[in-house]
Each structure stands twice: as structure tokens, then as C-alpha cells.
Chain A
Amino acid sequence: MIKAEQKPLEEIMKYLEPYKKILLLGCGACVTVCHSGGEKEVLLLAEAIRIARQETNNPIEITEHTPPRQCEPEFAIQVGEFINGAEAILSLSCGVGVQTLSRYFNIPVLPGVNTVFMGETVAHGLWEERCQACGNCILEKTGGICPIARCAKQLLNGPCGGSSRGKCEIKRETDCAWQLIYDRLKALGQLERLKQIIPAKNWGQESRDKGPRKIVREDLQI
């Protein structure tokens, strides 16, 4: 899922300076899973903001609500019921939710988290990047391990000369994606695949380099 991290409280307090009443929105999907913007995080953040503003004798009124998600018209519109004169919305959803709400409401929608990557929950409290939405998945060729998200140089014919003892040259703790791919293909009996050259990626036709992307399903549009 999408993984995000809450912005530093300082930054959030700066965003909130002009406002006396806000709607603090969590999101029940991705940010709940990575503990940065779910219901619990909303409760905690609301308290922290209230305390911070009390300290400066500048109280703030906060309405709290956590819809199932924010990135769809039905849910975004429903949020309207909770605005109640709020001057701004502080949204803990990923960047998508913030932008969806911005389309529906005429008050500022402020991001309370930094959307960081699409990743896996490796363990409770540990999330790692796994996918960068390159637009043309090659996991079939690489044993289910993505070199675009997990190789620091996005090599398609790795590893580079900096792969040492299974680790990446940029950080001792970082696994070399191509070592992982090698090990996995070996375990699957598919090492022969590594002999094939993967040609240059069509970044400009498949990926973010072609401009903002969209998916259209005419069969679903009424």
C-alpha cells in the first residue's frame, strides 16, 4: 500500500497558524496501516495541536473524523457534513486524498503527512519501498523482486560493480536488489533468465516521464 510519515509537528503548527477552527481528517486506508494517519493518529495529533496552541494562548477548535478513504468522490463529498465552519482541513491522507478534497471544498486542504512510497509491511513498525509505479511490471523476469524500486540505480541488467556481500554500495544495511534477484532466480531454477539482456525501458511511454497518467475504462463509465 501507500506508505506515509507524519510531517514534523513544527511544520504542521506553521501551516495552522492562521486558523482558529479546523477539521482534522484521518483516512481509514493506507495511512492507517502504516500508523501515520488513522483514527488513533488523529486523536493523538489533535491533542498535541491543542496543547501546543494552549501554550501560546491561541486556542484552536478541532473537529476529528476518519472516513474510510478520501480519494473517491462519494467519501470526499461526505466529509462535507463534518466541516461545520472549519477554516481549513488538515488531512492525514496520502497526497491523493488531499488533492481529491481540494477539488470538492473551497477551504485550504493541508497535508499532514509526507507520502513516501508504495511498500510492504515487513514487520509491525517496519515498512519498506517495493514499487514505484513504473507502469510496466517486469516482476515476471526478476523473480518477483523489483529492480526499479529496490536498486538505487534502477538497473535492469544489474548488479553493478558496487554490489558486495549482498549489500548495496550506498548503505551497508541496504540489500543489493540484484543479489536478491539472483538468489531468487537460482532458487526457482531460472538463472538462465539472467543471461538475457533487458532492453532500455520506455520511460516516456510507460512511466511518469510521459506526463501525468490516467487509466480509462470506458466500459465502466456511464
Chain B
Amino acid sequence: MKAGSNLEKILTAGHFAVTAELGPPKGPDVGVIQKKAEFLRGVVDAVNVTDNQTAIVRMSSIATCAIVKQLGLEPVMQMVCRDRNRIAMQSDIFGAVALGIKNILCLTGDHHTFGNQVNAKNVHDLDSIQLINMVRTMREEGTLLGGEDKIEGEVKMFIGGAANPFADPFEFRAIRVAKKVEAGVDFIQTQCIYDMDRFKEWMKMIRDLGVHEKIHILAGVTPLKSAGMARYMAKNVSGIIIPEAIIDRMAKAQKGAEEGIKICIEQIQELREIEGVHGIHIMAIEWEHMVRRIVEEAGLLPRPILS
């Protein structure tokens, strides 16, 4: 075991994993975290805590993860490269391990101009691949980046990364995942999937590279709330593709939200059949109370409890 986290144990035992996301509050309001955590209790194997997602200032991922852990759920600490240099990152990783956080998701981060502090100085000391490699160095060599300074204690982290089969250049996306594997990633969560054909094509490239045998891939899904949301995402969010057929379905439905949940569950069932997909990652942003229903109706409850 690399870190012995619940997520790692579930994936290693060969179960189909379920993770979801929890967005921290835009302030110190712990109540928000408690509420969201309750929605996810018993429903997921681990919960991703986002790191100032879309560059909007929220409670730090590490603090939120510590609270989530106190509440009895297993966190996956997301860490973006946008706001911290390698000193702060390694320092936070020490702190995270000390607080009992065992999963880290290494990301580049949305550009800071998307957020609410557009005049900030952009950091990007490392990129996501270099960050993955740095965490692996800390875990396997017991040293800081650079290989010289010995770490006091052990950094046991299960290392995750992100992948986007819907970004460009398409021919290169699977190869970039292979680079993350080389850098030391243990699991990958993908951007939310609507274009199943493209995802299947990407998975074929992944399998051709042998990546699916080296690491675990969790397929990302996001339930749509309305046709408007679908159109907005398709048009404005870089790296998300929503086929016309799905937008149509949402538009024609009597109750958009219901249709969105239905589509999500169908997707999960289809994803379970794809070779190399070892779990799903549900990003129901600001709709966390729906996760239980989705997981249940997709036939994924109860979640296995491993010692």
C-alpha cells in the first residue's frame, strides 16, 4: 500500500470506486462543510475537496480536508499549481499528512483571471506533472524536490491527477496521461463526460498505451440541471463537450433536473462496462444532496467497508 487510504484499498481490492466533490465555503463557515459532508456520508469512498476552484477564494483545501476527516469521511486534497510555489506545496503536504490526509489530487488549476482576485500574481512554479513527480519523490525517496533534504517522517500519499479526454490536441491527451504515470501518478479522475463516443475512443488509446494496467481511472460525471446549464457549459467552458443529442433531451424533458439525473445514471451504467474504468467521480457542484440518489439508483450502494 502506498498510503493505505480507503480509496486506495477499495481500488486495490478491485471494487468499482465512487468519489464526489465538496466545494469549501467562501469563508470560515464550517456549517457549510458539515452540511455537505452529511449528504455524502456512506455514499462515497472518498470526497475531493477543491482548491480555490475557478480561482474563487474559498476555505483552503487542507483546512477543509482536516474538518472533513474529523467528520468521519475520507478526503482527497486537491492542490493546484496556480497559487503556491514548491516551498508552500511541500509544507502543506507535510501538514496534510500530519492531519491524516492520505489522498492528494495534483492539478494545474483554472487560470486566476476566472476568479475574484484577478490582480493576483500568478505562481505556477510547477506544473501538474512536476507536482506529481515531487509528491512521489517525497514519498519514495523521503526527500524534498531536488533529492537533497531528508524529510523528517514519512509522506504517505496516494497520488492522483486529472485528465481531460475532451480537450485538445485529442491525439496527445492519452500520451499526456502516460507522462503523468511516468511522473508517479496512482490514479486519474477525468473531466465530466457527456460525449461517450469520444471517451471510449480515448479509453482505447489509454489501453493501447497500457496505462489502464498501471493506474486506476475514475470517470467523471456531472448531472445536468437544465438545458440552459447544458448549453452554457458547452459554449463557455473550455474542455467540455456536450453532444446535441443530450442538449435536445434536456430541452424536451418535462422536468430538466429529473432528466439530468436520469442521464447521469445511464452514463454511470455505461461507464461501468468500459474496460479500464475503475470507478466514477461525481462532480455535482452545489447539488451535493443529489449524489446519494445517483449512487443508489446506479446500484452502487452500499459502499464496501474495508478495514
Contacts and interface: CB of A to CB of B under 8 A. Distances in A.
B110 to A, nearest CB: 7
Contacts of B12: none
B169 A157 contact: no
A153 B122 contact: yes
A158 interface: yes
Contacts of A216: none
A200 interface: yes
Contacts of B239: 161-164, 169
B126 interface: yes
A151 B127 CA distance: 12
Contacts of A201: 125
A200 B122 CA distance: 16
A161 B126 contact: no
Contacts of A158: 127
Interface in B99-139: 108-111, 113-114, 122, 124-130, 133-134
Nearest to B127: A155
Contact of B238 (A155, A164, A194, A195): A164
Interface string B141-184: 00001000000000000000011101111001001101100110
B86 A200 contact: yes
A162 B237 CA distance: 8
A114 to B, nearest CB: 16
B82 interface: yes
Given A153-B82, A163-B238, A200-B134, A176 B129 contact: no
A62 interface: no
A82 interface: no
B81 interface: yes
B191 interface: yes
Contacts of A154: 122, 124, 127
B241 to A, nearest CB: 9
A194 B109 CA distance: 21
Contacts of B134: 200
Interface in B71-116: 81-82, 86, 108-111, 113-114
A77 interface: no
Contact of A194 (B110, B145, B175): B175
Interface in A156-177: 156-170, 176
Nearest to B126: A200
Contact of B108 (A153, A168, A199, A200): A153
Nearest to A183: B169
B238 A169 contact: yes
Interface in A190-213: 194-195, 197, 199-201, 203
A161 B108 contact: yes
Contacts of A203: 125
Contacts of B164: 161
Given A162-B110, A166-B168, A200 B145 contact: yes
Contacts of B178: 195
A159 B162 CA distance: 12
A123 to B, nearest CB: 26
Contact of B110 (A157, A169, A182): A169
B162 to A, nearest CB: 6
A166 B238 CA distance: 11
A51 interface: no
Contact of B167 (A153, A155, A161, A183): A161
Contacts of B108: 153, 155, 160-161
A109 B239 CA distance: 48
Contacts of B167: 159-164
Contacts of A155: 108, 124, 127
A183 B164 CA distance: 19
A182 B179 contact: no
Interface in A5-25: none
Give the 7 A-B residue pairs with the shortest CB-CB distance, closest first: A161-B164, A169-B238, A157-B129, A162-B238, A164-B238, A155-B127, A200-B130
26 contacts: A152-B122, A153-B124, A153-B127, A155-B124, A156-B130, A157-B127, A157-B179, A160-B108, A160-B127, A161-B162, A161-B163, A161-B167, A161-B239, A162-B239, A163-B239, A168-B238, A169-B110, A169-B239, A170-B111, A183-B169, A194-B172, A195-B175, A197-B133, A200-B125, A200-B134, A203-B125
Interface of A: 152-170, 176, 179, 182-183, 194-195, 197, 199-201, 203
Interface of B: 81-82, 86, 108-111, 113-114, 122, 124-130, 133-134, 145, 162-164, 166-169, 172, 175-176, 178-179, 182-183, 191, 238-239
